[in-house]
Amino acid sequence: MLSREADVVVVGSGLAGLTAALTLYQSGRAPLLIRDPETPAATARSGGWFRCATGGYTAERHFLDTLAAGGYLAQRSLARAMAEDAPSARQLLEAAGVRTRDTDTGFAVEGAGRPPGEVLTGCLRGALEGAGVRTLEALAWDVLVAPDGGSVTGLLAYDRSAAGWVAITTPAVVLATGGAAGLYPYTSHSPSATGDGLAAAFRAGAVLADMEFVQFWPVAAGEPDEAGGVWRCLEPRLLGGMRLVSGERDVTEDAGLPAFLDGRIGPGELARRIYEQVMGQFAARQEEATVVLTPGDPSGPGATAAGVIVPVPVRPVAHHTLGGVVCGDHGQTRVHGLVVAGEAVAGSHGADRLRGSGLTEALVTGWRAGKYVAGLPGGTGVPPGDVERGARERVRRVMALLESTQPGAPRPQDAVRRIALAMWRHAALVRTRESLDAAQSELNKIKRAMPFSCETGTSTEIWAALKALNVLLVAEAVIRSARYRKESRGLHFRADFPEQDDAEWLRHVRVKLVSGEMSLDASGGLEPMEP
Ligand SMILES: Cc1cc2nc3c(=O)[nH]c(=O)nc-3n(C[C@H](O)[C@H](O)[C@H](O)COP(=O)(O)OP(=O)(O)OC[C@H]3O[C@@H](n4cnc5c(N)ncnc54)[C@H](O)[C@@H]3O)c2cc1C
């Protein structure tokens, strides 16, 4: 095992992590940036569109729009910070060379022919490289915490290319590890975006919340394959004049495409109805229908829309995770020195989110986390030798979960595929108590058959097995939270509880670790979600 020391560790090189690292550097601290090269940042794929006070669109309006979109479940202090700080945080982007232009409700990154998300990450990474900020390519596995559980002492990471573990002594870790849309086989995100940071924070003693709220983009184009396929989100402006066809049946009206295009239903409702067209067939025939998008009247509007190849298989795809780690306004969690930023934060949006607010959340929470951690004292007060001993014990425990020689022991890659399928069939856009029980039962079968079998013992297989352990944890948090919330709100639809129930459920479902077991409760009122 390699041992290192760092003033502060920032995990993740999406917008939140890069912003936190740059802010720390500018405040005189020396961050070490860790990123998993196998998990591309959502930021790099994004459209580069930010919700932000500009011109006639005020911060107050942004705040109120966020609350309304989120079914009044956003943590108000986080939503307010996002709205009020966005214009100042924008300046950090511009200082790093990101060119932006105002829009009606925010600003957009100027790509000058390049994808805006890549411009965003490229400029920020360039600024960090220019400043000499160190980077380590590895999978952050566990946050190390002092024996009393109160504060961070280090981080344990797995370096796949060197096939070895790295123990880093540090008093502060910023987890900016993004979301978990990769729990589902069909996603606009990277399939390996499966919520590793949420799992690490949870094991360290932090609390998760709002995990039942998963956003699906309603119409994405691609081809399903063994691994799920690669899906490209289609903008609403490309859908005018299009027909949705399932088998021989025209399902345009049933799926609500015209209602969506003229604003009578939102993207969440459209996604749910298209999902029903696909999954309705699945329930009847045990096979999924293919829904294709075709031009309607050849002279109709949109039939010639640029960029759409027709007919093309389409479906809703998992896009964004609204749940995450419970934190205060600077990302601080109940574990001193453990701070979260970006999509890994719980509560910025509530039960649904506004377009453009994913990047704004990442920018503002990264900026605030950086400023907060810059003010924390350096040093852990724990000798690096002690941290390394603790890390070795963690490695021993986790490797025991990966070294089965029993015939029939699950292979990590197979387990992840089975879980993804169960999430899509039973815990996606339409949920019931029975479906969620079926999803949980699939997880239980895998857990009962563990430890995993890593026959080859290669670093690729160990990396996959670590990911699989996190997938088990995060999928269970989603399933159990969805089962706990007995109403429909925002992105969470329970066919057995189709109404929104404000009297009972204007609350956050929280997931905690109690005596080594996952335990759920609902926190009363809207706020505070105490750190
Ligand atoms: C196709 C697409 C388009 C989008 N377009 C927009 C848009 O136009 N506007 C908008 O507001 N939002 C958009 N979003 C959402 C937005 O991109 C995200 O909310 C935002 O980028 C999240 O930023 P982040 O820094 O929190 O996470 P990410 O950008 O996902 O970065 C996470 C980082 O963490 C690293 N990581 C994860 N786990 C580990 C680990 N265990 N160890 C080490 N590193 C790890 C990853 O490698 C990655 O570098 C879009 C999303 C998608 C998928």
Ligand 1 centroid–CA 14 distance in Å is 5
Q: Is the pLDDT of residue 198 over 90?
A: yes
For residue 140, what are its two tokens? 């952050």
Report if residue 515 sits inside a domain: no
Task: Determine the Cα–Cα distance for residues 140 and 156; give it in Å rounded to an integer.
Answer: 6
Residue with tokens 């805006």: 116
CATH code, 437: 1.20.58.100
**Torsion angle, CA of 82/83/89/90, rounded to 10 degrees?**
130
**Ligand 1 within 6 A of CB of 197:** yes
Dihedral of alpha carbons 303, 309, 312, 315, sign? negative
- Report pLDDT for 145: 96
Q: Is the pLDDT of residue 334 over 50?
A: yes
**Ligand 1 within 6 A of CB of 359:** yes
- 179 CA closest ligand 1 atom index: 30
Ligand 1 centroid–CA 42 distance in Å is 3
Q: What does the pLDDT look like over 459-500, one tens digit per residue?
A: 999 999 999 999 999 999 999 999 999 999 999 999 999 999
For the chain, the average pLDDT equals: 92
Return the axis-axis angle of helices 76-95 and 15-26, rounded to nearest 10°.
70
Amino acid identity, residue 467?
K
What average pLDDT does the segment 38-57 reach?
95
Report if residue 478 sits inside a domain: yes
Residue of 33, 103, 343 best suited for mutating to test ligand 1, as the one with most atoms within 8 Å of CB? 343
Q: What does the pLDDT look like over 285-317, one tens digit per residue?
A: 777 777 888 876 555 444 455 555 568 889 999
pLDDT winner (highest mean) among 196-200, 457-461, 502-506: 196-200
- Report pLDDT for 308: 55
**Ligand 1 within 6 A of CB of 14:** yes
Closest to 9 measured CA to CA, from 209, 143, 145? 143
Report if residue 129 sits inside a domain: yes
> Do residues 358 and 482 share a domain?
no
- Report pLDDT for 404: 82
- Report pLDDT for 262: 93
> Do residues 221 and 210 share a domain?
no
Q: What SS3 state is found at 288?
A: coil
CB 345 within 8 A of CB 364: no
This prediction's pTM: 0.95
- 34 CA closest ligand 1 atom index: 43
Q: How many structural domains are present in the chain?
A: 3
Report if residue 450 sits inside a domain: yes
Domain containing 422 equals 384-503
Q: Whose CA is nearest to atom 21 of ligand 1?
A: 43
**Ligand 1 within 6 A of CB of 105:** no
At 322, is the pLDDT very low, low, confident or very high (cuts 50, 70, 90)?
A: very high
Ligand 1 centroid–CA 522 distance in Å is 28
Task: Determine the Cα–Cα distance for residues 238 and 301; give it in Å rounded to an integer.
Answer: 10
**Ligand 1 within 6 A of CB of 39:** yes
- 43 CA closest ligand 1 atom index: 21
What average pLDDT does the segment 342-370 reach?
97
In sequence order, the 6+-apart residues with CB closer than 8 A to the CB of 248 are: none
What average pLDDT does the segment 405-412 reach?
87
In sequence order, the 6+-apart residues with CB closer than 8 A to the CB of 518 are: 473, 476, 477, 480, 511, 512
> Do residues 196 and 65 share a domain?
yes
- Report pLDDT for 531: 44
Q: Whose CA is nearest to atom 8 of ligand 1?
A: 47
> Do residues 164 and 224 share a domain?
no
Greatest alpha-carbon span in the chain: 73
Q: Whose CA is nearest to atom 48 of ligand 1?
A: 41
Ligand 1 centroid–CA 281 distance in Å is 33
What does residue 276 show for φ and ψ, rounded to 5 degrees?
Answer: -65, -35
**Ligand 1 within 6 A of CB of 185:** no
The DSSP bridge pattern shows strands 152-159 and 164-169 to be: antiparallel
Task: Determine the Cα–Cα distance for residues 455 and 363; give it in Å rounded to an integer.
Answer: 42
Q: How far is CA 464 from CA 204, 400, 402, in A?
A: 21, 15, 10
